[in-house]
Amino acid sequence: MLAAEESSDGQRPGIVYLEETDFGFRVIFHGFMEPEAMSQLLAAVRGRVAPRTPFGVLADMRHTLAFPSDTQEVIKSCFLHLKETGMERQALVLNSAIATLQAKRLAREAGIHDRCRYVDSSQDVEWETTATDWLRHGIEPYAEERK
């Protein structure tokens, strides 16, 4: 677990935690993504995620409204490390249009857009099932809606 410290305004910036799961990893972001918290995430990802058989990553970003410009390169570095170590699929759970647009752009720039699916927790009460079905079984989120 990688916990973030409270900032002076009482908010929990950055990462709440990174944990290993049966499908790979779950990363929970909370609050304003400060550079220091993102650097801690990158160090944790590099330290804990070694090359392995294909795995999935659930990035819970429901409590993040946007990614400041000084953290975006760190996010891309995390994406690249995960790709290089065997990430097969990633589910990004968001409920902010701005954060969703930024996450899509960063995934494209990191060359992982084809592995990512974006789950809108504001519209999907079963967001966790939607995300883990993609990670565990490759079930496309919202495939029925696209038909």
pLDDT at residue number 14: 55
pLDDT at residue number 56: 97
Q: DSSP label at 45?
A: H
Among candidate residues 121, 72, 69, the one with its CA nearest the CA of residue 96? 121
Task: Give how far the C-alpha of residue 97 lies from the chain's centroid of Cα atoms, to the nearest Å.
Answer: 15
pLDDT at residue number 4: 43
What pLDDT digit, counting tens, does each position of 76-106 carry?
A: 999 999 999 999 999 999 998 998 999 999 9
Domain extent listing, the chain:
15-142
Cβ–Cβ < 8 Å for 64, 31: yes
Cβ–Cβ < 8 Å for 128, 134: no
| Alpha-carbon Rg for the chain in angstroms | 14
> What is the residue-wise DSSP string for 76-132?
HHHHHHHHHTTEEEEEEEE--HHHHHHHHHHHHHHT-GGGEEEEETTT-TTHHHHHH
pLDDT at residue number 13: 53
Q: Is 116 exposed, middle or buried, given 0-12, 13-18 or 19+ CB atoms closer than 10 A?
A: buried
Q: Is 72 exposed, middle or buried, given 0-12, 13-18 or 19+ CB atoms closer than 10 A?
A: middle
What pLDDT digit, counting tens, does each position of 25-45 carry?
A: 999 887 777 778 788 888 888
pLDDT at residue number 42: 87
Q: Does domain 15-142 have CATH number 3.90.1150.10?
A: no
User: Which of residues 89 and 46 earns the better pLDDT score?
Assistant: 89
Instruction: Give me the count of residues in the chain.
Output: 147
